[in-house]
Every structure is written in C-alpha cells, then in structure tokens.
Amino acid sequence: MILRKRGILLAGLLALGMTACGSKTEGEDRLASDKVYIPQFIDFKLDADSLAAGCADGQNLYVAAEKNETVPVEGARNRDEKVIPDKGLYRIPLNGKDAVRLEQYQPISLPEGMEGYINIQELSAGENGTLWVTENMYTYTFQLPEGFNEETDDKWQYQSEIQETTVRRQLDSSGKELKRVDISGLAQKLNVDSVNSTTFDREGNIYAVTEKQIFALSPELQVLFTVEGENLYNRLILLGDGNMGLISSSYDETTQTSNNVMRTIDGKTKNWGKEYPMPLNVYDVWSGSGEYLFYFQNGDSVYGYKAGNAEGEKLFSWVDSDIDRDEINFWFPMADSRIAAVSRKWDNDKAKYELILLTATDRTTLPEKTILTYATMGLDWNMRKRIIAFNKSSEKYRIEIREYGQMNTGADNSAGLTKLNMDLSTGNAPDLLDMGALPIRQYSAKGLLEDLWPYIEKDREIGRERLMEKVFQAAEQDGKLYQIFETFAIQTVAGAKDVVGDRKSWTLAELQAAKAQMPEGCAVFGQYDTKESMLQTVLLQNMNHFVDWNNGKCSFDSDSFKALLEFCNSFPGNKEIQQVQDEDYESEASRIINKKQMLAQFTLYDLGWTYQEYKAAFGGDFSLVGYPREDGSVGSSFIHSSGLAMSSGCKDKEGAWSFMRQLLLPGLNDENNYAGMFRTNKTDFEYQIKNAMTPEYQVDENGNQVLDENGKPIPLPLGSMWISDDQEIKLPRPSQDDYDRFMELYNAIDSENYSDENITKIITEETAAYFAGDRSLDDIVRQIQSRVSLYVSENR
C-alpha cells in the first residue's frame, strides 16, 4: 500500500488567498469559498482493465473489476489467441489498505452449449455487511450449415437462440450467494414492448421503467402499482428518504421554454410525489444519503438537494480539489462528511486506479494565493486540465472558475450571459474569459478586453515571430488582439481548376458562369445543402464584413449582402431535402467524379485525409476558390479553437498572462503529437507539417524495409478512398506542392469566422419569407438593416 502525502502538499497548492484578483460574485453560493476539499490519494493495488460498477457502505468501497487474460486456442494454427475476461468483486477499505477480492464470488454462468457475455450492471450495499449485485447475461448459439468453413465464411450470419437474462443476487462479505431474484423477461411479464431500466428500493421492490409507465413490483414480481407519464427515458434512483426519483425534461412549444425537474414517486400514495426544479441540462444524478435526497453535477460542481429546498446546495468542485472529473469512476459521500472516490489514470496504456479521500478544510487555514477568476459558459475538458495543472504548479496564483452557464434556466436560457454582462459592467469582472460563447466584438468595442499584442511581443519565449501570425492578424480589431487560441483551421471551397480557374476569390456571377460549364442537373454543392444551411455558412464567413461594432454601423442593405442571399436562395429548401431518400445517397467524392456536383465545401485542418480525398476527387488539380464575395476578397476564412481573453479590469495582469501564455508555447513531440487542427505555435505547426509529409515505407514481418526492383524502398500510401464497392483510389502523403499551395492560401486570408447569435436569429427570421417567395429581396434587406442597426446601437 502506498499512501502519498499529497494531502498535506496540496493544502498549499489548493489555497485561495486573501489577496484577490477579482472577488466572488455577491449572492453566489458561498459553501465552496468557506471550505475546500483536500484530497488524499491511496494506491489500493488493483490490477484491472476496467471497472463496471461501485458502491459504498460507510467503511468500505466495493467495485466490480474486469481483467482480460489472453490465452492460446487449443488446436488452433498460427498461434491463435482468445481473450477471457476475469470478472471479480473487490472490497477497498477506507483506512488505506489494499483491495481485497471477494473470493467466493462467481459470476452467473453461461448455459452449457451457449456463447455470450456477462456484464455486472450495478452494485449496492445491503444490510449487515451484505452486497447486492445485478448481472446481465446475453447468450446465443449458432446453427452452422454442413461443411461450414470458418476461414471462408462468417459464422455470425447463422446466429440463433438469442436470450437475455438479468439476475439480482445478495452476497455475504466473502462474495457467497445468499439470495437470488431473476428479473429476466420483465417486458413480456408486464405486456410492454420494452423495459428501459430497473432499480431496487430498500425493501427489494423492483421499479421497471418503460416509455410511458413505471411499474413497482414486489421481490416476487407481483405488480404493486403503476404510475403514468411521458418520455420516461431516464433511470430511476433511490432517494435519501426511501422514495424513487427520475429526471424529467420537457419543452413548452407555446412559451418556447425548457423545463428540467426531479420527479419523485411517493411509495405511500403510490403516485407521483413532489417535484424539485433542476438546472437546465443536468442529467448526472446520484442516490441521496443523510440530509440530502439526491446529488447532481452541474458543470464541474457537485450539489446536494435537501427536501423542502427550492434548489441544490453546492457541496464541492472537482477543480477546487485539483481533480479532473473525467478521471473519476465513482464517488460516494461518507457519513463523516468526507468524499470517497475512485479514479482511473493511464500509465503507458495501462489503467491505474486510486482511492481518493476528500476532507473538507477551512480555507482560512491555507496559505494565501492570488485568485484569478476564469469566466466560462461551460468548462471544456482541455481547459479543465490546463487549469488543474496551473493550480498545482503555481506558487503565487490560483484560478477559480465561474461557470455562468450553470445559471441558465428553462425559462431563461441566457440568464448566465446576463449575469456575466452585469458583472462586467459593475466592477465585478472576471480576470479571464473563455470567449467560445461570448460576443467578443461587443466586449472589445466597450473597452472590456485587454489588447494582448503587447504581452506577446514582450514575452521572450513567444513573440510574434514564433506564432502563425497571420491567423491572429485576421482576429484583430483595429489592429488590436483581444483573444488568443491554440489551434486553427481554414474553411474553404474547392473546385476543379479547369472549371473554376486558378483563383482564391470570385463573385456570384463568376460562380454561375462556372456552373454553366457543368452538365445539366449538376449541383453546386452536396445533396443535403439547403437555403437555410447555406445562410448559416455565409453568415459565419461574412458577419465581420457587414457589422462594425466599433463604429456601430452595419451594411445589410448593400449589394454584397443581397448577392449572398441570392446565392443561398439558389439552393433547395429544407422540405425539399427531407424528400431525399436514404437509398438515393451518394458519397460526395463519387458525385464530384461523376460531375453531379461542382464544388465541395470543407474544413482544412491538416494536409492529410480530407485534403488528399478532395484533391483525388477533383482529378488531382483543384483550386481552393472559397465562397463567392462581391468585394473581391478571399473567399476562405480562418476558424480557431475557443479564444481566451483578459478583461481590461483584471487586477493582476501579469498573473493572468502567466496562465494564458501556455496556449502559445510549443508542446508537440513524437510522444505527444495529436493536435486535431493546425497549431498556432510555429514550432508545433512545422512539426505537424514535417510529420505529415514524412514518408512511410513497406516493411516485412521482421520490420525490414522491402525494396523494389531498383533497390529502393517502397513508399506506403496515406490510405485508400473507396468511390464504390469496386473502385478504390490510393491517397498519397502530402507533397511539397500541397504545402506550398496551402501556405499560399494561408497568407492570402484576412478574415475569420464569426457568429453573433442574435444577429443570426434576426436574419434567419426575416429571410424565411424571402426563401418562401412571399417577400422581395429589397424588402427583406431593408428590414434586416433596420433591426440589426437597432440591435447594434442598443448593445454597444
């Protein structure tokens, strides 16, 4: 057993200081600011590939673990092997001792002559140290024809006698079976099409959930009562008071509002009981204990709900404890107010499990650190990892997260944004802002954001020269940079060079002239592109061209915008596309090759598969011509990962930059080479290009290169593209010419994709009548210009 003294060390790392760079919002839940949960990590020495279920009884945790063992197949040729899963139950003492296997536990057995698999679905603690385990068994046989040859035929074509069995068993402390309840075939017994899930109460009664009914059954499977409902898809949980609860979501078409509640079943009245309002989009809920009816997770924080309360009470934040919630398998509240959790990390592709004991500690007892507040509508996994790493390593600063999206309700889906805007205008501004869902141009026009170019230029490890500067220049506003980001891509349109010409921009008239060269019936884009979808695309591409937030002006009554709407109107409507049958589907590559489609719109995020597929489809010689624009500008644009900004009111800008700069530092290498898109750090970008262009060669079974008749190594293609079942195109690895063409486009682009949800909504509402043929183009653009001008004026 290894007990690491990280609980003491993390007391310093987790400290939130008295000197604050931004303070807590008045009225926010203060529990987390009074207490912080310090983690203690314990290696309980469990060698397992996966954990299927877990529970706690106050003194121990129990987990269902699986370890796959590879064994040779008797009598098989070529050293064939098969994988045998070893399923076991383990007790993990909370006193730091190693996991102990329940040696008497044996999973339910497959019937003789049947094949299949067994899953442990659920564990729950019983009385007097007993344990309940729910197991699901899926079995089948094969009716193989005479003379069946496994090497030339597929036995799965002859699968038969499929059965599903679900059993709940009570075990003693050694894992020996004490009691068994077979709940197989509930759907047939209840005369329903299917049972979505089953849950058990403290008396062993069974609750079976169907789409419109919940059945309560005795342990002997006698129906006790039923309750009716709609859309009962979520799983029931046992509440702290012994009743059952289920998350239910609904949408009111009249008011256009969403509703999310915990509905309870009252065992005494045998009907629906109280309802507890829940935050929007919360679905992760757990059974309650002690004074809490149930627990739920909203964003990165865990809440407990007490009977009679109108909302949940914040208990703790995973990030506050320097824990990545994505690594948590199970967690359980303990009677002594501690939190017990089991985490899984990966070490050289091997799972490593730890017991985490979280103990509430008064924040005032911890050393001071300067707080940096980070505002986001929803914390993404990548930024969560960065914040945790920063908080662990920084001796001076600590980042505290404000998830404004948690404030959204069914009646007001923008409550979080409203609160953030209020904080920005009343001196309670956060120090750092995740701009992924925020109106950066409005904020910068109001002077709420810091220009980041001076920080980049003064940073000796970064500077403009170490970045893909063109991408950041496209994100500038009046020469100032208000956000930084880690990755980028290019949104563009490709066409055959002999059709569209060798160009990077064109007008709508030039596009139509090119289409006139194509066969009759040839479409501009794909089978499923519509007026409505193209409108969304061109607005992303061109919003910056029509709205100037700094000057408070817009130009939606211009000829350029009219041309874009005419372009969108040339596509079919949504209703027409809905009539396209699945059997009429044809891959885009095939449509391009067969002259049924002239152009392809795509996101260029590397020089590999996507680039090479379209290059091959267009015959190897194509232009990245972009979307039509009447002003002659390049029709392609940059898109980038979520931006990070610094508020102009940040009280410790040096500390804020010490976190932000990490997005711009190099980080790719041979062991860590995944990026998803092009990196904005130039060293990383060049590594990506070199890695993509480096050829791979054919090798033999011993790893030695295979040579051709001239004694030269044989290069391997990047892969294959299948146009049809019998038509394959080999894709080459990116060439120097591919890179040169990419860089030529990269250096020509001067704009980025940008969306404003409210402006887009106005335009979508107004253009519906134009697309339907009910109003003229001039009438529509006048109305859009009027409405958007008013919106911009009111929100500057």
* Alpha-carbon gap, residue 13 to 390, rounded angstroms: 10
Alpha-carbon distance of 289 to 313, in angstroms, equals: 14
Q: Give the confidence band of 578 by pLDDT, cuts at 50, 70, 90.
A: low
Residue 415 has pLDDT above 70, yes or no: yes
| Count of Cβ atoms closer than 10 Å to residue 268 Cβ | 7
96-113: string of b/e by CB count within 10 Å (b at 16+)?
Answer: ebebeebeebebbeeeee
How far, in Å, are 56, 118, 284, 312, 702 from residue 81 at the CA level? Answer: 37, 20, 39, 52, 21
Residues 379, 385, 387, CA angle at the centre, nearest 5°? 75
- pLDDT at position 289 is 85
Q: Each residue of 427-447: pLDDT tens digit?
A: 899 999 999 989 999 999 999
Q: Are 684 and 676 in contact (CB under 8 A)?
A: no
- Position 73 scores a pLDDT of 58
Cα gap 298→311, rounded to integer Å: 12
Per residue in 530-573, pLDDT tens? Answer: 999 999 998 888 888 899 988 889 999 999 899 999 999 988 88
Over residues 717-742, the mean pLDDT reads: 86
655's tokens: 């500390």
Residue 251 has pLDDT above 80, yes or no: no
- State how far the Cα of 708 lies from the Cα of 714, in Å rounded to an integer: 6
Sign of CA dihedral 476, 477, 482, 487: negative
Percentage of residues in the chain with pLDDT exceeding 90?
58
pLDDT interval class at 5 (50, 70, 90): very low
Whether residue 648 has pLDDT greater than 90: yes
pLDDT at position 78: 47
Mean pLDDT, residues 392-413? 88
pLDDT at position 362: 87
- Give the separation between CA 89 and CA 101, rounded to whole angstroms: 6
pLDDT of residue 13: 32
Instruction: pLDDT band for 25, please (50, 70, 90 cuts).
Output: very low
Both structure tokens of 12? 């310093």
- Which phi and psi (to 5°) does residue 152 adopt? -115, -10
Kindly report the pTM of this predicted structure. 0.85
E strands within 321-395? Answer: 328-333, 339-347, 350-362, 370-376
pLDDT at 528: 85
pLDDT for the residue numbered 81: 62
Q: Among 31-45, 241-255, 645-659, 679-693, where is mean pLDDT lowest?
A: 31-45
Across the chain, mean pLDDT equals 87
Question: What is the model's pLDDT at position 12?
Answer: 33
Q: What type of residue is 541?
A: Q
**240 φ, ψ (degrees, to nearest 5):** -60, -25
pLDDT score for 583 = 58
Q: Is the pLDDT of residue 22 over 80?
A: no
Cα–Cα distance, 76 to 728 (Å, whole number): 34
Residue 584 structure tokens = 């009429």
Fold topology of 2-146+154-365:
Neuraminidase (2.120.10)
For residue 219, give the DSSP letter. T
Average pLDDT over residues 446-458: 96
- Judged against a pLDDT cut of 50, whether residue 693 lies above it is answered with yes
Q: Are strands 370-376 and 20-21 parallel, antiparallel or unpaired?
A: parallel
| Per-residue DSSP letter, 225 | E
Specify the pLDDT at position 103: 95
| CB-based contact 12:366 (threshold 8 Å) | yes
Q: Please, what sign has the CA dihedral across residues 524, 525, 528, 533?
A: negative
Residue 98 φ/ψ, nearest 5 degrees? -70, 160
Determine the pLDDT at residue 766. Answer: 94
Any idea which architecture 370-472+642-660 has in CATH? 3-Layer(aba) Sandwich (3.40)
Per-range mean pLDDT, top range of 158-162, 482-486, 574-578, 754-758: 482-486
Beta bridge mates, 87: 66
Domain ranges of the chain: 2-146+154-365, 370-472+642-660, 488-641+737-790, 687-735
Residue 517 in tokens:
């060269």
What count of other Cβ atoms lies within 10 Å of the Cβ of residue 224? 13
Mean pLDDT for the stretch of residues 8-27:
33
- Confidence check: pLDDT of 89 > 50: yes
Q: What is the pLDDT of residues 768-790, one digit of tens each?
A: 999 999 999 999 999 999 999 99
Which has the closest alpha carbon to 326: 264, 388, 374? 388
Same fold: 2-146+154-365 with 488-641+737-790 = no
Residue 234's closest CA among 294, 185, 184? 294
Q: What angle do CA 536, 539, 542 make, to 5 degrees?
A: 155
Q: Taking 50 as the threshold, does the pLDDT of residue 177 lie above it?
A: yes
CB 197 within 8 A of CB 237: no
- Cβ-proximal residues to 92 (8 Å cutoff; 6+ apart), any chain: 44, 46, 60, 61, 62, 63, 99, 100, 342, 355
Task: Evaluate whether 432 touches 660 at the Cβ level (below 8 Å).
Answer: yes
CATH tag, 488-641+737-790: 3.40.190.10
What average pLDDT does the segment 364-369 reach? 83
Min mean pLDDT across 247-251, 381-385, 500-504 is at: 247-251
> Among 291-305, 471-485, 698-712, which is the least confidently predicted range?
698-712
Helix (H, G, I), strand (E, B) or coil at 464: helix
Task: Output the DSSP codes for 473-516.
Answer: HHT-BTTB---B-SEEEEEEEEEEHHHH-S-S---HHHHHHHHT
